[in-house]
Amino acid sequence: MSCWELNIRTHQRANSELVGKVIAVEDERSASARLVATQEMAVDDRGLIHGGFAFGLADLAAMVLVNQPNVVLAGAEIRYLAPVKVGDEMVADASLMSKEGNRFIVGVRVRVGDRRVAEGTFNCVVPRRHVLEKKESQ
């Protein structure tokens, strides 16, 4: 499915080969994304994947759960539980933990099959305008 079919309103230009592809979204409730680990993501000759790719996938799932055009990550805490290797298909499942105004706390679990490889908490904020938009006074 395309981002248009899933009604995704954020991160529409995210490269699916680098940060993942959204596979499900239920606004402000849950979202899932997947990413296949490639040789280019490996940090050694044994095929160990850099943890930043699991983090990027988890971040994408959190952003899409909020599903607002200007959503940004204000902070995150992540724990790596198991290694990922070349060829593994990672799936990140995000769920809303709490919401207060324009601030969302999202829990994300990343798995390869039934094995959890990372989990974390993502603090997402929806500013009034795009973070790269200049303030009127500038």
Residue 51's alpha-carbon distances to 40, 62, 85, 101, in angstroms, are: 13, 17, 10, 31
Residue 66 inside a domain? The answer is: yes
**Residue 46: CATH number of its domain:** 3.10.129.10
**Strand 89-100 vs strand 103-112: parallel, antiparallel, or unpaired?**
antiparallel
Q: pLDDT tens, position by position, for the chain (138 residues)?
A: 555 578 898 998 899 999 999 999 998 999 999 999 999 999 999 999 999 999 999 999 999 999 999 999 999 999 999 999 999 999 999 999 999 999 999 999 999 999 999 999 999 999 999 998 987 654
In whole angstroms, what is the distance from residue 125 CA to residue 12 CA?
Answer: 18
- Is 43 part of a structural domain of the chain? yes
> Domain for residue 2, yes or no?
no
Count of domains forming the chain: 1
Residues 20-39 have pLDDT tens digits of 999 999 989 999 999 999 99
**Is residue 78 included in any domain, yes or no?**
yes
Consecutive H or E run containing 64: helix 51-66
On whether the CB atoms of residues 72 and 55 are closer than 8 A, the answer is no
Domain membership of residue 86 as a residue range: 21-125
Predicted local confidence at residue 136, as pLDDT: 60
